[in-house]
Amino acid sequence: MSLSVAIAQLASDSDAEANARRSAAAVRDAARGGARLVILPEYASGWAPTITADLAQETDGPFLAALRTAAAEAKVWVVAGMVTPSPSGPGRCENVAVLLGPDGEVAGEYRKVHLFDAFGVRESDVLDGGRPGGDNVLTVDLGGLRVGVATCYDLRFPETFRLLADAGADVLVVIAAWADGPGKAEQLEVLTRARALENTCYLLLASQPGEGRVGRSALIEPLGTVIDQGGTGDEVILAATLTQDVIAEARAKVPSLSHRQFHVRPGPPTG
């Protein structure tokens, strides 16, 4: 059982139509390379140094329309991050990871739970966070492997990834637009490798490059080894074939999931 994947490390800006064209082209390029699952970063539909409601698009807007066409033509699964209007009211948005099937239809969504209110940034000024657990857990079975999805700042909360592991995930997909700053690239690498290792899962990071972002997209094996990694400013496609055998071997060597003595329950802490 195996799954061919590709990570498209792309930089987005406030030009929605240009973002749509670049993202759709990346999906087609990755599919020509043999990928069955293509992963685009967080905020692929639109990014700016300060996130505002002007970046939001409806799901029938130009970005998702272009991706749906590309996914259907290439017959691939796609994960991509976008900003959508929130049902809570005008000026409010949601950070959504959208899963498209090879028919171009929306197969699932994950609304980012942990909003990035850190290092002087406040996503919560514009974004509404998703509800933890429940129906806001996105997984899909592909090629005999179960893929689970999370977003950027979620990396700092290992409970998110335990929930995905409890849901049977073998592959952890993380989309990001990780903010630059002193030590931030190193923190990103430590966190991604730790989330892979502690859950004995592959981890696939699609991270935006460019000004104000660190890039450093990565393919990571279940014991934390980096298979491939992007740079800080380049737009690249990383590709690999993931196998169940590698996961099984890692879990035989380090059966940490079966040794667990604590379990995660969705919801805020009490007491």
Find the CATH number of the domain harbouring 231.
Answer: 3.60.110.10
Strands (E), the chain: 2-9, 37-39, 77-85, 93-100, 106-111, 139-142, 145-151, 171-176, 202-207, 218-220, 226-229, 236-243
Stretch 40-51: mean pLDDT: 97
Looking at residue 173, its pLDDT comes to 99
Has residue 265 been placed in a domain?
Answer: no
* Cα(109)–Cα(138) distance, integer angstroms: 6
Structural domain tally of the chain?
A: 1
Has residue 258 been placed in a domain?
Answer: no
Among this protein's residues, is 112 annotated catalytic?
yes
Has residue 262 been placed in a domain?
Answer: no
**The pLDDT of residue 141 is above 80:** yes
| Domain coverage including residue 9 | 2-253
Point out the catalytic residue in the list 42, 94, 109, 123: 42
Q: What percent of the chain has pLDDT over 90?
A: 94
Among this protein's residues, is 253 annotated catalytic?
no
**For the chain, how long is the longest CA-to-CA vector?**
53
Among this protein's residues, is 75 annotated catalytic?
no
**Average pLDDT of the chain, as a whole number:** 96
Has residue 233 been placed in a domain?
Answer: yes
pLDDT band, very low/low/confident/very high, at 271 (cuts 50, 70, 90): low
Has residue 267 been placed in a domain?
Answer: no
Has residue 266 been placed in a domain?
Answer: no
Has residue 264 been placed in a domain?
Answer: no
pLDDT tens digits for range 62-77? 999 999 999 999 999 9
Point out the catalytic residue in the list 93, 94, 109, 152: 152
Looking at residue 270, its pLDDT comes to 64
Has residue 270 been placed in a domain?
Answer: no
Point out the catalytic residue in the list 109, 112, 201, 221: 112
